[in-house]
């Protein structure tokens, strides 16, 4: 059984939906620890005062915000906590928007929403109404000591919640320095590239894409554990842009 | 501004036999308020130093390797060269494997958004422009895989703001199944048609255009304000605690009341003014930043 990471209430209008949150994702990356190469002993991170050159116990560490070179404003834990409303565990939906209007670039983390005991009717009602109206609820809640903007939507037969990035956090393509070619691609090249796209057209089947790097790392760990040295890698091709774009496109279509 | 020279990954996007040299730059700015650890006594910043737990001595960074614990106390160590040798092609190349309809990819798979910036002179810029042209009007995502630092990502390449954008994605086994999460299935909790009608009507009353700039990061603003007040020597008060609402005993009554109050509010406010263009109007808001 999955374990919930947060319990609270979604509100919209005067309707309250008691819910639980679950992580929807998990990293499967192989994790390593830092070791001292010489004796394979674990590395410890220790805190030192940069002035006294002495180790500092955790209780003597406070949070500082650098206001100018080397000058810090120190905040107590309670003062940092004062940045967010405390107590009530509420996701207050402020608006609803058409699901198709939100570019997924705004979505950050994803969580699954489960119904709490006694909240089943309200949960089903909200899920049914979001589905039928094809809307997404936009709201805020305090999570991990930080007020988050969130989007609530129907997801795989459940309610799903995304934390949402703020508009000023996103870089626009217009802010980038993208070099323009002196010569634009010719119509024939665009047509050929379009045909190449068509030959690679497929349906999205997530299970088709395996993390082969993860598997190779696991294999390498086994080899090294058995005392075998890994084979030296084959040098990959250099990835130069084509001198003749048209010839490269033609060769790709023939391949 | 992000510049191509500041790419966090440099390599090439490979489309058939066409290589497009690119740099990867994040499309998310870190605007978070960051704190430094400070020694309370003397206000000096804290340094983190790495120590060998056996020798009790400080260890320079070059002498640190990655260790994988096979079983308690038995370690296999991997060096940077070992990691580089694992998948050399994928550390430098994003091979486009397929083009799939964008609507088939649920946003749950998306991890972090980036832009790709061309890096290979005139030839690279032309090949890049060709891909932008071809993908611009297509509602397909180009899928490929590559290794960033020491992790492989599935990635979706598409066009945003007339540039190639890349979004790293999770692998299928990194998205958890929904099994075991209470969704109040079955007939017992099925809402009546009238209840759903009312809930949809309420949602429509509360519907507005998606205008991301309307939402400010209040956490960031308040934290910066607290820092400012503290600097000026003022006291910081704890915020008012919020109350947690009780579940409503009568769902239908709560819906009807909410609907009546939402309608009254939108009539008295003149919704086009307060809701930024009217709730029912369907317009396509493009992601602006």
- pLDDT at residue B9 tops 90: yes
Measured CA distances, A116 to A135, A145, B82 (Å): 23, 23, 48
Alpha helices in B78-191 (DSSP H): 80-86, 121-136
CB contact (8 A) between residue A239 and residue B251: no
Q: How confident is the model at residue B268, as a pLDDT?
A: 80
* Cβ-count burial B181-196 (b if 16+ within 10 Å, e if not): bbbbeeeebebeeebb
Q: How confident is the model at residue B6, as a pLDDT?
A: 65
Q: Please tell me what DSSP assigns to residue B280.
A: S
CB contact (8 A) between residue A63 and residue B20: no
Shortest distance between the Cα of B274 and any Cα of chain A, in A, equals 12
Chain A residues 142-201 within an 8 A CB cutoff of chain B: 146-149, 155-160, 162, 164-185, 189-190, 193-194, 196-197, 200-201
CB contact (8 A) between residue B108 and residue A160: yes
Residue whose token pair is 């509010």: B265
B33 contacts on A by Cβ (under 8 Å): 65
- pLDDT at residue B234 tops 80: yes
B14 contacts on A by Cβ (under 8 Å): 239
Q: Give yes or no for a contact between A127 and A159, defined as CB atoms under 8 angstroms apart.
A: yes
pLDDT band of residue B270 (cuts 50, 70, 90) is low
What are the structure tokens assigned to B121, written together? 């002179």
Q: How confident is the model at residue B25, as a pLDDT?
A: 96
B149 contacts on A by Cβ (under 8 Å): none
* Cβ-count burial A7-23 (b if 16+ within 10 Å, e if not): ebbbbbbbbbbbbbbbe
pLDDT tens-digit readout, B27-60:
999 999 999 999 999 999 999 999 999 999 999 9
Q: Give yes or no for a contact between A159 and A113, defined as CB atoms under 8 angstroms apart.
A: yes
Residue A58: Cβ within 10 Å count? 7
B138 contacts on A by Cβ (under 8 Å): 197
- pLDDT at residue B236 tops 60: yes
- pLDDT at residue B277 tops 50: no
> Measured between CB atoms, which of A24, A166, A176 is closest to B217?
A166
In three-state secondary structure terms, A106 is: helix
Q: Give yes or no for a contact between B116 and B22, defined as CB atoms under 8 angstroms apart.
A: yes
B242 contacts on A by Cβ (under 8 Å): 85-88, 90
CB contact (8 A) between residue B40 and residue A240: no
Shortest distance between the Cα of B22 and any Cα of chain A, in A, equals 10
Q: Give yes or no for a contact between B117 and B103, defined as CB atoms under 8 angstroms apart.
A: no
Residue whose token pair is 């949070």: A63
Q: Return the percentage of chain B with pLDDT > 70, whole number.
A: 91
Q: How confident is the model at residue A236, as a pLDDT?
A: 65
* Closest C-alpha among A45, A87, A195, A118 to residue B246: A118
- Does residue A127 belong to the interface with chain B, where contact is any CB pair within 8 Å? yes
- How far apart, in whole angstroms, are the C-alpha atoms of residue A141 and residue A164? 11
* Closest C-alpha among A57, A40, A38, A36 to residue A48: A57
The torsion of the CA quartet B37, B39, B43, B45, rounded to 10 degrees, works out to: -40
Name the strand (E) or helix (H) holding B157.
Answer: strand B151-160
Q: How confident is the model at residue B210, as a pLDDT?
A: 97
- Does residue A10 belong to the interface with chain B, where contact is any CB pair within 8 Å? no
A39 contacts on B by Cβ (under 8 Å): 52, 54-55
| Mean pLDDT, range B175-197, rounded to an integer | 90
| Mean pLDDT, range B223-229, rounded to an integer | 93
Residue B176: Cβ within 10 Å count? 17
Q: How confident is the model at residue B269, as a pLDDT?
A: 73
pLDDT tens-digit readout, B108-135:
999 999 999 999 888 899 999 999 999 9
CB contact (8 A) between residue B135 and residue A37: no
> Measured between CB atoms, which of B43, B47, B92 is closest to A72?
B43
Q: How confident is the model at residue A149, as a pLDDT?
A: 97
Least confident of A84-98, B165-179, B272-286: B272-286
- How far apart, in whole angstroms, are the C-alpha atoms of residue A138 and residue A97? 7
pLDDT band of residue B278 (cuts 50, 70, 90) is very low
> Measured between CB atoms, which of A23, A214, A231 is closest to B152?
A214
Query: Residue B200: closest CA among chain A residues belongs to which residue?
Result: A129
Q: How confident is the model at residue B3, as a pLDDT?
A: 42
Q: How confident is the model at residue A237, as a pLDDT?
A: 65
pLDDT band of residue B281 (cuts 50, 70, 90) is very low
E-state strands within B162-246: 163-169
Cβ contacts of residue B168 below 8 Å, gap of 6+? B110, B111, B112, B114, B148, B153, B154, B155
ipTM of the complex: 0.92
Regions of chain A short of the pLDDT cut 70: 1, 87, 233-238
Q: Return the percentage of chain A with pLDDT > 90, whole number.
A: 75
């Amino acid at each position: 059984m999955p374990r919930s990471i947060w319990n609270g209430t979604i509100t919209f209008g005067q309707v309250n939906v008691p819910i639980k949150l679950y992580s929807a994702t998990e990293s499967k990356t192989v994790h390593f620890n830092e070791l001292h190469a010489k004796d394979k002993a674990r590395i410890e991170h220790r805190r030192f005062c940069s002035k006294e050159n002495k180790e500092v116990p955790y209780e003597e560490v406070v949070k500082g915000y650098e206001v100018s070179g080397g000058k810090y404003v120190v905040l107590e834990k309670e003062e940092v906590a004062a940045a967010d409303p405390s107590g009530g565990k509420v996701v207050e939906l402020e608006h609803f928007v058409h699901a198709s209007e939100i570019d997924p670039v705004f979505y950050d983390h994803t969580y699954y929403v489960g119904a709490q005991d006694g909240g089943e009717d309200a949960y089903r009602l909200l899920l049914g109404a979001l589905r039928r109206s094809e809307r997404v609820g936009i709201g805020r809640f305090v999570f991990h000591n930080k007020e988050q903007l969130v989007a609530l939507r129907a997801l795989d037969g459940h309610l799903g919640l995304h934390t949402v990035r703020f508009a000023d956090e996103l870089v626009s393509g217009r802010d980038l320095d993208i070099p323009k070619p002196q010569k634009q691609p010719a119509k024939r090249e665009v047509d050929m590239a379009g045909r190449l796209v068509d030959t690679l057209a497929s349906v999205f089947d997530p299970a088709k894409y395996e993390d082969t790097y993860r598997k190779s790392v696991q294999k390498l760990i086994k080899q090294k554990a058995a005392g075998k040295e890994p084979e030296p890698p084959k040098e990959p091709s250099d990835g130069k842009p084509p001198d003749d774009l048209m010839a490269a496109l033609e060769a790709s279509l023939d391949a | 501004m992000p510049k191509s020279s500041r790419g966090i990954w440099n390599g090439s996007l490979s489309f058939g036999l066409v290589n497009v040299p690119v740099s990867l730059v994040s499309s998310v700015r870190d605007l978070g308020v960051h704190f430094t650890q400070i020694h309370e006594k003397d206000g000096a910043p804290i340094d983190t130093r790495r120590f060998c737990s056996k020798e009790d001595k400080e260890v320079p960074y070059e002498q640190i390797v990655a260790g994988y614990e096979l079983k308690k106390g038995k370690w296999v160590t991997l060096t940077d060269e070992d990691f580089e040798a694992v998948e050399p092609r994928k550390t430098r190349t994003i091979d486009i494997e397929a083009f799939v309809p964008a609507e088939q990819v649920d946003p749950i798979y998306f991890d972090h958004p980036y832009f790709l910036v061309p890096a290979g002179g005139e030839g690279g810029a032309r090949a890049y422009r060709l891909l932008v042209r071809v993908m611009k009007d297509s509602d397909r995502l180009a899928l490929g895989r590559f290794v960033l630092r020491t992790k492989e990502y599935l990635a979706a390449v598409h066009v945003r703001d007339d540039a190639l954008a890349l979004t790293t994605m999770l692998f299928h086994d990194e998205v958890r199944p929904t099994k075991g999460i209470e969704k109040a299935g079955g007939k017992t909790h099925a809402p009546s048609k009238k209840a759903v009608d009312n809930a949809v009507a309420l949602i429509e009353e509360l519907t507005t255009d998606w205008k991301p700039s309307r939402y400010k990061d209040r956490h960031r603003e308040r934290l910066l304000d607290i820092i400012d007040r503290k600097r000026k020597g003022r006291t910081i008060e704890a915020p008012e605690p919020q109350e947690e609402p009780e579940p409503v005993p009568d769902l239908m009554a709560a819906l009807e009341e909410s609907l009546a109050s939402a309608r009254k509010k939108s009539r008295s406010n003149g919704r086009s003014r307060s809701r930024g263009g009217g709730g029912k109007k369907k317009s396509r808001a493009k992601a602006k930043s």
